[in-house]
C-alpha cells in the first residue's frame, strides 16, 4: 500500500491556544479569580446544577457566570433570575467550543459589568458553562483552573469509553439525575471505574440537581478550590 | 424578564479567519492555483466522487488532493492508489473543521512534496476534502476559490432547511447516489427549490459516483473554473 504524507494540524493550533490559556491562568491567579470550566452533553442539567450550587455559595464568595451558547440568552437570564448573581451570555455563532481567547473576551465583558453593579469589583469565582458537546470543548484549554463535567444517568455509564478525552481532562465528574437510577441500566460503580481508567485522580460526585441531593458535596469542593487558589 | 449582557464572540474569531482566508486566496491567485473546498456529512461519497472526477481531469490539468480527517489515512491512500495524483492527509486531531491557517499548513506541506515527485512544480487544482460535518466547516472560510458540497439521496431532501449556512456558502451542490432515488422519499425538484432558497445562484448537479452518471457535468464545471482562475 502506498504511503502518503500526513500533516498533524492540531499541534500548532493547540500549542498556540495552550500558550494563551497558560497566560490567562497566570493573570487570573494574580487577580485572585478562580475560573471553572463546566462541560457536558446537551440536556445533562448544567444550568440547574449551577443554580443549586450558586445558591449554596453566593453568601460566602462573589460569583459570576458566563453562559456559552450558539445564539440564545435563556440560560444567562435563568441563572440571573434564580440566583441574582452576575450572569452574561457568550454567543459562539455556531461554533462548537470555546478557546482561551474567546474566554478572555467573556472575562473582559464581565469586568465591564462589575459585581452587583459595582464596576471594578472582582468575582472570586467565575463559572464558564461551555457549549453542550462532548468532543470539541475537551480539545481546547479555556484558561480555567479546573475542568468539571456533568454526566447524567440517562446518557449511560459507557460514556467514558466513547469520549475518552473529555473524561481525561476533567478533574471532577458530577453524575446527575441519580433519582432516576432505578429506571435506567446505569451502573454507578462501573461508570466510576471507567472514569478512573481515563483519569485516576478524577473526583466523582453523584447528585440530583432537581432535588438538591449531593449538591453540598460539589459546592464544598468548589469552595475549597476557590479558597486554595486565593490563598485564604 | 431581566436582560443580560450578550457578547458576540464569533465576530472577532471569524473576522480574523476571514482576513487570513482572503490573504491566502490572493496568494493562490498569484500562483495560479485553484483551491476547491469540498464539504459534506459523513458517508455521502466525497472520496468516490473525487476519484471519478480526478480520473476525468488528470490528463488535462495538474491535480493534488488534501484529505482532512480526525486521525486516519485511508482516504488519502485510496485517492493516491485510484488516481495516481499527489494526495496528502491532514489530521485535525479531533477538530471538527478546517480554517484558513490549517489550510495554509496543508498547502505548504503539499508544496514540499511537489507534483509527480518534481519539487517546485505547482498544481493547477487543489481539492480540499473537509471534515465530514454540516455545521462547523460552513462557518470557516478556508481560503478556497469556491465551496462545493455533496448531499446524498439517503440523507433526505430537507437538509437545506436544517443546515441553512452550509447551503448558503456553497457554489455547487452535488446530489449523489441518484441510482437509489426510486427507493427513497427524496424529491429532487423540492431539494433544488430548498437549495435555491439558501443560495439562488447555486448550481445543482445530480450524479451517481458509483456508476459515473453525471460526473462529466461536475468535472466540466471544475475544469472551466480552473481555466477561468488561471486566465487560460
End-to-end alpha carbon distance in chain A: 62
Average pLDDT over residues A147-166: 91
* Closest-approach residue (CA) in chain A for B105: A9
**pLDDT at residue A119 greater than cutoff 50:** yes
Of B124-133, B140-149, B211-220, the one with minimum mean pLDDT is: B124-133
> Which tops the pLDDT comparison, B135 or B227?
B227
Separation CA A50–CA A59 (nearest Å): 15
Separation CA B214–CA B90 (nearest Å): 29
What residue has cell string 491535480?
B63
Residue to mutate among A3, A8, A9, with most B CBs inside 10 A, is: A9
Summarised one tens digit per residue, pLDDT across range A34-67 is 999 999 987 889 999 999 999 999 999 999 999 9
Separation CA A78–CA A82 (nearest Å): 6
pLDDT at B71: 66
**pLDDT at residue B11 greater than cutoff 80:** no
Which uninterrupted H or E stretch holds A3? none
State whether residue A87 sits within 8 Å of chain B by CB: yes
Cell triple for B186: 427524496
Q: What average pLDDT is seen over chain A?
A: 91
**pLDDT at residue B157 greater than cutoff 70:** yes
pLDDT band at residue B58 using 50, 70 and 90 as cut-offs = very high
* Closest-approach residue (CA) in chain B for A2: B77
Of A13-17, B8-12, B147-151, the one with minimum mean pLDDT is: B8-12
Q: Which fold has domain B14-150+216-230?
A: Rossmann fold (3.40.50)
Of A147-151, B15-19, B110-114, B174-178, the one with minimum mean pLDDT is: B110-114
Give contacts of B102 with chain A, Cβ < 8 Å.
9, 13
Residues forming beta bridges with residue B91, ordered by sequence position: A8, B69
pLDDT at A117: 73
Average pLDDT over residues A105-128: 88
* Closest-approach residue (CA) in chain A for B165: A94
Summarised one tens digit per residue, pLDDT across range B91-127 is 887 778 899 999 999 999 998 887 777 787 899 999 9
State whether residue B73 sits within 8 Å of chain A by CB: yes
Of A88-92, A178-182, B60-64, the one with minimum mean pLDDT is: A88-92
pLDDT at B1: 44
Residues forming beta bridges with residue A86, ordered by sequence position: A64
pLDDT band at residue B73 using 50, 70 and 90 as cut-offs = confident
Separation CA A70–CA B167 (nearest Å): 19
pLDDT at A1: 45
Among B146, B135, B143, B133, which Cα is nearest to B199's? Answer: B146
Name which of B4, B81, B94 is nearest A135 (Cβ-Cβ): B94
Residue by residue, what is the 3-state secondary structure of chain A? CCCCCEEEHHHHHHHHHHHHHHHHHHHHHHHCCEEEEEEECCCCCHHHHHHHHHHHHCCCCCEEEEEEECCCCHHHHHHHHHHCCEEEEEECCCCCCCCHHHHHHHHHHHHHHCECCECCCCCCEEEEECCCCCCHHHHCCCCCCEEEEEEEHHHCCCHHHHCHHHHHHCCEEEEECHHHHHHCCCCHHHHHHHHHHHCCCCEEEECECCCCECHHHHHHHHHHHHHHHHCC
Q: Do B5 and A95 touch (CB under 8 A)?
A: no
Give contacts of A2 with chain B, Cβ < 8 Å.
77, 80-81
Average pLDDT over residues A137-149: 95
pLDDT at B75: 86
Positive/negative CA dihedral, B69, B168, B226, B61 = positive
Q: What average pLDDT is seen over chain B?
A: 91
pLDDT at A2: 53
Cell triple for A126: 467565575
**pLDDT at residue A12 greater than cutoff 70:** no
Q: Which residues contact B86 (CB under 8 A, 6 or more apart)?
A: B63, B64, B65, B80, B110, B113, B114, B115, B116, B123
**pLDDT at residue B193 greater than cutoff 80:** yes
> Which tops the pLDDT comparison, A60 or A14?
A60
Residue B200, CA distances (Å) to A19, B133, B148, B160, B221 in order: 43, 23, 15, 12, 18
* Closest-approach residue (CA) in chain B for A91: B8
Separation CA B232–CA B218 (nearest Å): 19
CB A36 within 8 A of CB A127: yes
Domain ranges of chain B: 14-150+216-230
End-to-end alpha carbon distance in chain B: 62
Q: Do A136 and B5 touch (CB under 8 A)?
A: no
Q: Do B139 and A77 touch (CB under 8 A)?
A: no
pLDDT at B78: 92
Q: Do A12 and B90 touch (CB under 8 A)?
A: no
Average pLDDT over residues B145-152: 97
Separation CA B157–CA A230 (nearest Å): 56
State whether residue A168 sits within 8 Å of chain B by CB: no
Q: Do A8 and B77 touch (CB under 8 A)?
A: no
Instruction: Tell me the three state secondary structure of residue B53.
Output: helix
Q: Do A105 and B77 touch (CB under 8 A)?
A: no
Separation CA B232–CA B230 (nearest Å): 6
Q: Do A165 and B136 touch (CB under 8 A)?
A: no
**pLDDT at residue A111 greater than cutoff 60:** yes
Cell triple for A68: 456559552
CB B186 within 8 A of CB B208: no
**pLDDT at residue A20 greater than cutoff 90:** yes
What residue has cell string 519539487?
B119
Average pLDDT over residues A132-147: 91
Give contacts of B113 with chain A, Cβ < 8 Å.
5
Separation CA B161–CA B79 (nearest Å): 32
Percent of chain B with pLDDT over 70: 97
Nearest chain A Cα distance for residue B90, angstroms? 5
**pLDDT at residue A187 greater than cutoff 50:** yes
CB B158 within 8 A of CB B47: no
pLDDT at B2: 53
State the Cα angle at B90 between B85 and B91, rounded to 5°. 145
Of A100-109, B11-20, B204-213, the one with minimum mean pLDDT is: B11-20
Residues forming beta bridges with residue A181, ordered by sequence position: none
Positive/negative CA dihedral, B216, B222, B227, B231 = positive
CB B51 within 8 A of CB B78: yes
pLDDT at A78: 92
> What ipTM describes this predicted complex?
0.73
The CATH superfamily holding the domain A30-230 is: P-loop containing nucleotide triphosphate hydrolases (3.40.50.300)
Give contacts of A135 with chain B, Cβ < 8 Å.
94, 96
Give contacts of A94 with chain B, Cβ < 8 Å.
10, 135-136, 138-139, 165
Give contacts of B136 with chain A, Cβ < 8 Å.
94-96, 136
Separation CA B215–CA B209 (nearest Å): 7
> Looking at the whole model, is its pTM more than 0.80?
no
Supply the angle between the helices A215-230 and A46-57 in degrees, to the nearest 10: 60
Nearest chain B Cα distance for residue A110, angstroms? 9
Positive/negative CA dihedral, B148, B154, B155, B157 = positive
Amino acid at each position: 500500500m502506498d504511503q502518503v504524507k500526513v500533516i498533524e494540524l492540531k499541534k500548532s493550533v493547540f500549542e498556540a491556544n495552550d500558550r494563551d490559556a497558560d497566560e490567562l491562568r497566570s493573570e487570573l491567579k494574580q487577580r485572585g479569580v478562580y475560573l471553572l470550566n463546566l462541560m457536558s452533553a446537551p440536556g445533562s442539567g448544567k444550568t440547574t446544577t449551577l443554580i443549586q450550587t450558586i445558591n449554596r455559595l453566593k453568601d460566602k464568595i462573589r460569583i459570576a457566570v458566563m453562559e456559552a451558547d450558539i445564539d440564545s440568552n435563556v440560560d444567562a437570564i435563568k441563572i440571573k433570575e434564580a440566583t441574582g448573581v452576575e450572569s452574561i451570555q457568550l454567543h459562539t455563532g455556531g461554533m462548537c467550543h470555546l478557546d482561551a481567547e474567546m474566554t478572555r473576551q467573556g472575562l473582559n465583558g464581565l469586568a465591564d459589568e462589575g459585581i452587583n453593579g459595582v464596576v471594578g469589583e472582582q468575582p472570586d469565582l467565575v463559572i464558564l458553562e461551555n457549549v453542550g458537546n462532548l468532543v470539541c470543548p475537551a480539545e481546547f484549554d479555556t484558561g480555567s483552573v479546573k475542568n468539571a463535567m456533568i454526566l447524567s444517568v440517562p446518557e449511560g455509564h459507557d460514556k467514558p469509553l466513547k469520549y475518552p478525552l473529555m473524561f481525561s481532562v476533567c478533574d471532577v465528574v458530577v453524575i446527575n439525575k441519580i433519582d432516576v437510577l432505578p429506571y435506567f441500566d446505569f451502573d454507578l460503580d462501573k461508570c466510576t471505574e471507567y472514569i478512573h481508567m481515563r483519569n485516576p485522580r478524577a473526583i466523582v460526585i453523584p447528585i440530583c440537581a432537581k432535588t438538591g441531593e449531593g449538591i453540598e458535596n460539589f459546592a464544598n469542593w468548589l469552595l475549597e478550590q476557590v479558597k486554595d487558589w486565593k490563598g485564604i
